[in-house]
Structure 1
Amino acid sequence: MMPIFDPMYVVFLAPAFILMMWAQARIRSTYAKASQVPARLSGAAAARHILDQFGLHDVAIEPIRGHLTDHYDPRHRVLRLSEGVYDGRNAAAIGIAAHEAGHALQHAEHYGPLVIRNMAVPAAQYGPGWFMAFFVLGMFIPVYFSQFFWIGIIGFMAVAAFQLVNLPVEFDASNRAKRLLAETGISDEQSGPALSSVLNAAAWTYVAGTLQSVLVVAYYIMRFGGRGNDN
């Protein structure tokens, strides 16, 4: 994302990089441990039970290749679970499956933060490209660099805003998963703490992603925000 190497960029982003590495290591560790804790149902069966309990019989559940590629597709109303989660009969599988089912419940309830997040998806997807286009344009036309830069920085601000809105969405889905699995009896005293550990570890990856986006915006503003005045 940088046109040239700048040690200050590394300094700015170091907290986010460290947090992300720690979060990824933690989720790998907790997932491996929770995968050894047996559960009454498979991930797919647990998600189906939760969805049916709330009348979401039309939400399909499909297996998808990959590791931890699980997600809910609101456009097609499909909950896609990675193969290990779909077939797995362990605490990790039911925890992740219930988390994604939580997103389907949010969608059905028109949960405010989720509605905002879904509206912000295009901005988050194209924001970095928007910024780089205007940044490069400003480099070629230095006299207008400041104007192009501030137009472009809106792109990265959109990504940071998306990440900030995404935090309550993910935390709510995890809290729903813990509560619903306990209420339905799918989780018990043995699997409950294990699946909570997996969901808590996953939450830190969202925090790290948000921190990274905010720090990228802060770096570019610090590094280039006053350049137009210098010219």
Structure 2
Amino acid sequence: MNIHIRHKAFAATTLISDLTIHTGENEIVALVGPSGAGKSTLLNIIAGLDKDFSGDIIFDDQRPPGLMFQEARLMPWLTVLENVTLVAPPDHPDPTGEALSLLTLTGLESQAEKYPSQLSGGMSKRLALARAMMFKPGVLLMDEPFSSLDAPAAESLRQCVLSLKATSPFSIIYVTHDLKEAVAIADRVLILDANPMTLKHQEFITLPRPRYLHDKAVSDVCEPLYRAWPGLLYGNADERKTM
């Protein structure tokens, strides 16, 4: 996928200017940078939810993107199964069968007839993942997908994403504020500046998988990046100049 945002503004403030990002087939790309840089806005543009910009988004194939928001955004009046079938394409030959298969892959098959209020936070995120996968996306867009979970639930969801990716290859672009998380999962980490958003550095991650947040090898990759870009990897977009 090729992304080129020539200009994106809110009121008189330019948020993104002349930003180009390319993602390879089946690649995992993490976006890391200060809060307020516009990373979530960039995901919304790629997903087609925000069309008020100048630029081009060119997908490598015709499969639609899938999107996981920071919040699960489930329909509380629908069952777990119905939340997944809700987004099935109109011409899908067997939405219930596909949804049940996705629930099995995400470990939610026994929860199919429950309602979102009966799920834990980790289960809700896995349900949001299953729903996003109902599109059979060419690229999955994830906005801080692990941020609200405790450590075991976050690790479970990370491994669930990688397992799904292994069974049905797709690219991933995801936003995180946790550099270690980015290094543990991604093939490439993009460090972004703000006001306007620009790409300052990209780090190719060649560590063998599986990788975990507390692996020494992950820390060894992160430490020089923290030293080189402290103002972008800590704080928010307004604070970064003072750090």
Alignment TM-score, normalising by the size of structure 1: 0.29
Name the one with the larger helix percent: 1
Higher strand residue share: 2
TM value normalised by structure 2: 0.29
Task: Please say which structure displays the higher CA radius of gyration.
Answer: 1
